[in-house]
């Protein structure tokens, strides 16, 4: 990563010397220098280039001197570190600068070797702080995420449980209702047979209620209602599978059940809308054994990867018409296989969405990295997924992708995975 250094001095020739002395570092993109001639200009540059990691500043300058600048820097970014340049004899200013929070000082005339050492030391310190801060942020986000998942899990499991009671009596009563209706129809038909001249009132009523159609349609209606209850029951089972909170112990788990539950929950995003036809799901399931794992965590992995695939398809749909998408349908292929050496299983989740450049692929596993709009993506999905696969299950996660060609994420889980 290139570190950006702001060099503030009113002596213009110094800029050329800096560029010359550190040309190797600049060429290898290890360092990058931005120059300003006084404090006011320095503050402008700091606002313009938020990637600046450190400031090297002279003390005596027109418009705004280095000491005033030092006082202002912390209002912009409290992580910024400053090194002051000063004549050796100017002990008073150096002391003031240090009191104002300067990280170090280099004496003038500049000894460039000394300056290089000081820059290295300062940048190392800045990097360490940035790293710590990111770790902290990541830990916090993970905590929020796992708390959210736990609360969501409880809520979902609760709802699934609550749905089951009314569902049970609907299913039970449907059986009875079907039987009663069949009996009533039989009974009616008996009447029709035995009394073939029932009189005008009954005949008229039969026309009004469209009796023939009704008798034909009723069994169909009952069938649809039964299918409806079966669907609710499947959703409820999926919710319970997904919300499995047995995160503390590893249990034997049917991976396909986890994938199917994730798909069921994401169903609303797979269905056709006015923007796109439905997303085809192609399942190529192999013959998998049960896998000893944390089911709730693996479900989270499947959810993240499938949700990303849907996002990638939606992104690619933005530049294609409905007809174009229909001709080249959105597809998610999910393939599973039992490794030949029987040590683990592989789950491949592949989409034909926007795909990723090699450069993007380098970044996607970093916490908070996202290309999605603010509020849409947190950029935590893949970093958590990687942690769940690699750390919690001693598995492997990799991706194969190129722009325009779609993306495949490959998850490998040992059949008896222990924590590393
Ligand atoms: N299947 C995919 N196809 C193309 N790009 C992808 C795919 N999966 C992930 N990416 C890229 O990787 C980035 C990071 O993904 P990640 O899941 O970590 O975060 P996110 O999806 O942006 O946000 P969230 O935290 O809500 O998951 C995405 O913003 C996207 O640019
Ligand atoms: Mg995501």
**d(CA 300, ligand 1 centre) in Å:** 14
**pLDDT, average across residues 233-256:** 82
DSSP code for 274: S
Taking only the tens place, the pLDDT of each residue in 124-170 is 999 999 889 888 888 887 787 777 777 777 788 888 888 888 999 89
pLDDT surpasses 70 at 247: no
Q: How many CA atoms lie within 13 A of 354 on its CB side?
A: 17
For residues 293 and 308, give the distance between their C-alpha atoms in angstroms, rounded to a whole number: 23
Torsion sign, CA atoms 328, 332, 338, 343: positive
Identify which of 330, 349, 370, 388 to mutate to test ligand 1's pocket (most ligand atoms within 8 A of the CB). Answer: 370
How many Cβ atoms are within 10 Å of 194's Cβ, its own excluded? 7
**d(CA 374, ligand 2 centre) in Å:** 13
For residues 127 and 133, give the distance between their C-alpha atoms in angstroms, rounded to a whole number: 10
b/e string for 150-187 if b means 16 or more Cβ within 10 A? eeebeebbeebeebeeebeebeeeeeeebeeeeeeeee
**d(CA 196, ligand 1 centre) in Å:** 71
- The pLDDT score that the predictor gives to residue 334 is 98
309 lines ligand 1 (CB under 6 A): yes
For residues 174 and 180, give the distance between their C-alpha atoms in angstroms, rounded to a whole number: 10
Place of tokens 């050329």: 16
DSSP code for 290: P
Identify which of 364, 365, 380 to mutate to test ligand 1's pocket (most ligand atoms within 8 A of the CB). Answer: 364
Least-confidence region, from 13-22, 135-144, 176-185, 316-325: 135-144
Q: Which of 37, 78, 33 is nearest to 52 (CA)?
A: 33
**d(CA 266, ligand 2 centre) in Å:** 13
Distance in Å from the first CA to the final CA of the chain: 30
Taking only the tens place, the pLDDT of each residue in 278-304 is 999 999 999 999 999 998 889 989 999
C-alpha distances in Å from residue 120, one per residue of 30, 116, 142, 320: 11, 6, 32, 50
- The pLDDT score that the predictor gives to residue 148 is 75
Please state, rounded to an integer, the average pLDDT across all residues of the chain.
91
312 lines ligand 1 (CB under 6 A): yes
pLDDT surpasses 70 at 245: no
Q: What is the DSSP track for 66-129?
A: HHHHHHHHHHH-TT-EEEEEEETT-HHHHHHHHHTT--EEEEESP-HHHHHHHHHHHHHHHHHH
371 lines ligand 1 (CB under 6 A): yes
Which ligand has the shortest distance to the CA of 409? Answer: 1
CATH topology of domain 246-420: Heat Shock Protein 90 (3.30.565)
The confidence band for 420, taking pLDDT boundaries of 50, 70 and 90, is very low
Say if pTM beats, i.e. exceeds, 0.75. no
Instruction: Specify the ligand 1 atom closest to the Cα of 355.
Output: 4
Taking only the tens place, the pLDDT of each residue in 331-381 is 999 999 999 999 999 999 999 999 999 999 999 998 889 999 887 888 889
Q: Which of 112, 48, 106, 108 is nearest to 82 (CA)?
A: 106
Q: Quick one: what percent of the chain has pLDDT higher than 70? A: 98
406 lines ligand 1 (CB under 6 A): no
Cis ω for the linkage preceding 109 (within 30 of 0): yes
**Ligand 1, atom 17, residue with closest C-alpha:** 381
Torsion sign, CA atoms 61, 63, 68, 69: negative
**d(CA 68, ligand 2 centre) in Å:** 45
Which ligand has the shortest distance to the CA of 372? Answer: 1
348 lines ligand 1 (CB under 6 A): no
**d(CA 350, ligand 1 centre) in Å:** 13
* Architecture of domain 3-110 in this structure: 3-Layer(aba) Sandwich (3.40)
pLDDT surpasses 50 at 8: yes
**Helix residue ranges per DSSP H, 195-331:** 200-208, 211-242, 255-265, 267-270, 295-317, 322-327
86 lines ligand 1 (CB under 6 A): no
Taking only the tens place, the pLDDT of each residue in 89-118 is 788 888 899 988 899 999 988 999 999 999
């Amino acid at each position: 990563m290139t570190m950006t250094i702001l060099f503030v001095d009113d002596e213009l020739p110094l800029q050329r010397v800096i560029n010359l002395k550190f040309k190797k570092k600049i060429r290898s993109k290890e360092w990058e220098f931005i120059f300003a001639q006084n404090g006011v200009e320095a503050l402008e540059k700091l606002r313009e280039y938020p990637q600046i990691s450190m400031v090297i500043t002279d003390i005596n300058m027109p418009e705004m001197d280095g000491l005033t600048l030092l006082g202002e820097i912390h209002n912009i970014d409290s992580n910024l570190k400053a090194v002051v340049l000063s004549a050796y004899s100017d002990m008073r200013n150096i002391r003031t600068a240090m009191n104002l929070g300067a990280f170090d000082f280099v004496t003038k005339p500049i000894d460039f070797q000394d300056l290089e050492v000081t820059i290295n030391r300062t940048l190392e310190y800045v990097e360490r702080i940035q790293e710590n801060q990111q770790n902290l942020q990541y830990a916090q986000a993970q905590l929020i995420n796992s708390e959210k998942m736990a609360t969501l899990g409880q809520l979902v499991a609760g709802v699934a449980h609550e749905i089951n009671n009314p569902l049970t009596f609907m299913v039970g009563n449907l059986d009875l209702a079907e039987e009663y209706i069949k009996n009533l129809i039989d009974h009616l038909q008996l009447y029709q047979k035995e009394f073939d001249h029932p009189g005008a009132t009954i005949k008229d009523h039969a026309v009004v209620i469209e009796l023939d159609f009704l008798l034909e349609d009723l069994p169909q209606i009952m069938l649809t209602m039964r299918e409806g209850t079966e669907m609710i029951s499947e959703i409820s089972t999926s919710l319970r599978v997904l919300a499995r909170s047995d995160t503390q112990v590893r249990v034997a788990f049917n991976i396909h059940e986890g994938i199917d539950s994730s798909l069921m929950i994401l169903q609303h995003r797979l269905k056709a809308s006015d923007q796109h036809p439905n997303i085809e799901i192609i399942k190529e399931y192999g013959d998998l054994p049960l896998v000893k794992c944390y089911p709730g965590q693996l479900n989270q992995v499947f959810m993240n990867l499938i949700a990303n695939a849907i996002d990638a398809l939606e992104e690619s749909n933005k530049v294609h018409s409905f007809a174009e998408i229909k001709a080249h349908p959105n597809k998610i292929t999910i393939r599973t296989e039992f490794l030949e050496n029987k040590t683990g299983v592989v789950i491949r989740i592949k989409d034909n969405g926007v795909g990723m450049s090699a450069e993007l692929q380098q970044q996607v596993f970093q916490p908070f990295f996202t290309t999605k709009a603010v509020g849409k993506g947190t950029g935590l999905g893949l970093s958590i997924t990687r942690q769940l696969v690699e750390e919690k299950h001693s598995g492997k996660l990799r991706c194969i992708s190129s722009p325009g060609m779609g993306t495949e994420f490959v998850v490998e889980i040992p059949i008896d995975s222990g924590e590393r």
